[in-house]
Amino acid sequence: MNKGIAYLIGAGPGDYKLITLKGMECIKKADVLLYDRLVSDKLLSFASEDAELIFVGKSPDNHAYSQEEINKLLVKKALEGKTIVRLKGGDPFVFGRGSEEALALKEAGIYFEIIPGVTSAIAVPAYAGIPVTHRKTSSSLHIITGHEDPEKDDTNLNYQVLAKLEGTLVFLMGIQNLKEICSSLILHGQPEDRPVAVIMNGTTSRQRKVFGTLKNIHEILIEQRITNPSVVVVGDVVGLSETLSWFENKPLFGKRILVTRTRQQVSSLTQKIEELGGEVIEFPTIQIVQPDSFDEIDGALGEIEKYQWIIFTSVNGVNSFFNRLKKLDFDIRLLYNARICAIGSVTAKTLEDMGFNIEYVPEVFKAEELVEGLKNKIMIGDRVLLPRADIGGTILVDELNKLGAEIDDIHVYKTVISKQSRDQLQKNLENNIDIITFTSSSTVNNFIQILGKDNLPDLSGIKFAAIGPVTEETAHKAGLKIDILAEDYTIDGLVSAIVKHVIKGEIKTND
């Protein structure tokens, strides 16, 4: 039997984008992925759909697997000839017990690789505006466990030595023992007023930081309800946090935003929100699939020269249309006779990137505005091809007919309800969501269908954001009040509207 390979990977401290490129490559090719409690769910989403995901996380009060069981599981899966990824928070060799897992693999004769991760000892203070070293303040860094092996008879930590260090002390997993840590440092010579910072949920939108001294920080933690996971920083560098703070200054910091776009489209909205400090929970409510039949589009393409106009109403329509052309080895030069129109700047940009000149894009991205702009361009008897979704409304077709045009309204794709479950949605909603975004009427309708109308009252305290008036009207009919409406009916416009409301203080974080 061929043995597999195991990768012991540091996932970083919380922000999923702090994973290394090599770590991400391994996640994508894993057959089996064993992950810890503090590993971001976003990283798991990059694994193959066929990958086996196994939670082996530990918390101070509960272990899904003992360390010995994890070691045996790694060996067992590798002996089955599989590619194993062991995804660990922070760095696997910085108090991560990665060395124990590597030794177990070595003893079993299994090839393994260590892929270092960004340790929370450095990254979490950095996200809090605290440099762990500074030329004028701290010339050394000392990383110390705050939670030693409970089975040891005695501590390996020499507080007499630690108390004499003038550099920065960083304690990982030290919340439970912080009172004893501070007392021991003071007892052996550290000044009572030495600055201390504690950062909880560092590098995530839930990051919180508190400050004190060795004498009072424990009481402050209790008062502020600071818990694990937290990093403790002791030293004069703590005083730089106020000046160098940057992460919490982002306009959407601390906000959790549920995105309901399709899986294919979610990335652009997610990226923009995350760049502004928000945390995105992706819950696609619609899915783009092929039409039941290609007869309509294939028939239209067979006589494409007869069309004077092609009107695209969405990026999905553009992509679906040209994917079919490619599938049929269609000669794109046969579109020479057609003038191209687009609803939406993003739709237009997609076509322009393909090399097309756009005849007209309405300033307001609505069907009525498009027809108003075309009334002096489309002639009576002109043939218009309208490749779009199966649920496209009748307004555009009716208005174009009034201009005397002959319309072929063909379905190049279908929008269907996502396979996401109500349990998944309710679990997400229980996770202190601040804002839910809707980018189309379909996202609204499917959201309601998945959640169930009876559960709408449970959404009090959550703000709803819509990309435009059509989506807003659909939401109102479904019983939802839109609190944030984009002025520019684009993703950028939607994000801009959210930021404006947050800055005005109209949205308070659901803690």
Per-residue pLDDT for 100 more than 80?
A: yes
**How far apart (Å, rounded) are the C-alpha atoms in residues 308 and 327?**
23
In CATH terms, the fold of domain 289-415 is: Rossmann fold (3.40.50)
**How far apart (Å, rounded) are the C-alpha atoms in residues 90 and 231?**
12
Q: Which residues pair with 7 in a beta bridge?
A: 85, 113
Provide mean pLDDT across the span 129-150. 88
Residues with active-site annotation: 36, 58, 173
Q: What is the DSSP string of 219-242?
A: HHHHHHT--SSEEEEESGGGGGHH
Per residue in 191-231, pLDDT (tens digit) is 999 999 999 999 999 999 999 999 999 999 999 999 999 99
Whether cis (ω within 30° of 0) applies to the bond prior to 229 is: yes
Per residue in 393-437, pLDDT (tens digit) is 788 888 888 889 999 999 999 888 877 788 888 888 888 899 999
Domain 5-118, CATH number (from 3.40.50.300, 2.60.40.420, 3.40.1010.10, 1.10.30.50): 3.40.1010.10
Per residue in 466-475, pLDDT (tens digit) is 998 889 999 9
Task: Give the three-state DSSP class for 275.
Answer: helix
Q: How confident is the model at residue 150 (pLDDT cuts 50, 70, 90)?
A: very low
Task: Give the three-state DSSP class for 428.
Answer: helix
Per residue in 401-410, pLDDT (tens digit) is 888 999 999 9
Provide mean pLDDT across the span 353-366. 85
Range with the poorest average pLDDT among 109-113, 326-330, 439-443, 498-502: 439-443
**How do the domains of the chain map onto residue ranges?**
5-118, 122-249, 256-285+418-503, 289-415
Provide mean pLDDT across the span 311-321. 92
Per residue in 338-351, pLDDT (tens digit) is 999 998 888 999 99
How much of the chain, in percent, has pLDDT values that exceed 90? Answer: 72
> Would 256-285+418-503 and 289-415 be classified into the same CATH topology?
yes
Q: What is the model's pLDDT at position 344?
A: 82
Report the sign of the C-alpha dihedral through residues 161, 166, 169, 175, in that order: positive
Sole residue written with tokens 């809090």: 128
Number of H helices, E strands in the chain: 19, 23
Neighbours of 279 (CB within 10 A): 23
In CATH terms, the fold of domain 256-285+418-503 is: Rossmann fold (3.40.50)
What pTM was computed for the model? 0.84
H helices within 141-216, ranges in order? 159-162, 178-187
Domain 122-249, CATH number (from 3.30.565.10, 3.30.950.10, 3.30.70.1350, 2.40.50.140): 3.30.950.10
Q: Average per-residue pLDDT in the chain?
A: 91
- Upper half-sphere CA count for residue 152 (Cβ side, 13 Å): 7
406-423 CB burial, b ≥16 within 10 A, e <16:
ebbbbbbbbbeebebeee
Whether the Cβ atoms of residue 200 and residue 9 lie closer than 8 Å to each other: no
